[in-house]
Chains A and B, each alone.
Chain A
């Protein structure tokens, strides 16, 4: 089996790619997809620590955290996509640079 550090490095790479996507992408849906990448990297970290802990059978806290991360990510993606659709209907754009006035 691979050591735990491999999972940490993998999730670090995915997280950094997500950060680049959030900073560089201009389409709101693409920004949201990059946020999903970052959330996934964090869940992978939680589950990796939980799985490699020694008295593992008595403790599933990291896994519970991953469950909560997934639930909150689902709520976030639903709400954010509703906002994007409303933005597109009002401004006919999904470009986050063109929606910088914070005014409807």
Chain B
């Protein structure tokens, strides 16, 4: 019972901070809301008893990705003369329409679908040994390809963002 109450508190908080990410007036507030939202989803993984993904979520998203985003925000601020940057364009109402339609569809499908009978009533813990065995045995080749992708992407990022001599 306590878990359920806690779950609802977290769910409402996640929706609130996610709305903050897309509606906040300043980019820094959006970034801070994003950190809270990512941490909240990490808490959801704890509710699902998948501690490994929760840990990865806190480390990669809460740490590395948000630091990268804050750094990019710092390097691309327009804050000259205190003029507030426009954060939403003229297409915002149409975006809201599309998003509202998509939200209604997704919620309707999630609630109305009769999910297959082999779904349980409660979340079952998956041990980290199982995850490791599957990741390195059944999914060994995709794992290697992902590693290569990360390496290539970050070398490419360094090349693109490099300060050139003639600048």
Contact = CB atoms under 8 A, between A and B. Distances in A.
B99 A20 contact: yes
B50 A82 contact: no
A24 B96 contact: yes
Interface residues of B, number: 88
Contact of B100 (A15, A16, A36, A67): A16
Nearest to B12: A10
Instruction: Report whether over half of chain A's contact residues are helix, strand or loop; otherwise say mixed.
Output: helix
B82 interface: no
A45 B102 CA distance: 16
A81 B68 contact: yes
A103 interface: no
A41 B154 CA distance: 24
Contacts of B81: none
B114 to A, nearest CB: 11
B22 A18 contact: yes
Most buried by B among A18, A60, A86: A60
Interface of A: 1-10, 12-30, 32-34, 36-37, 40, 43-44, 47-61, 63-64, 66-68, 70-79, 81-86, 88-89, 93-95, 97
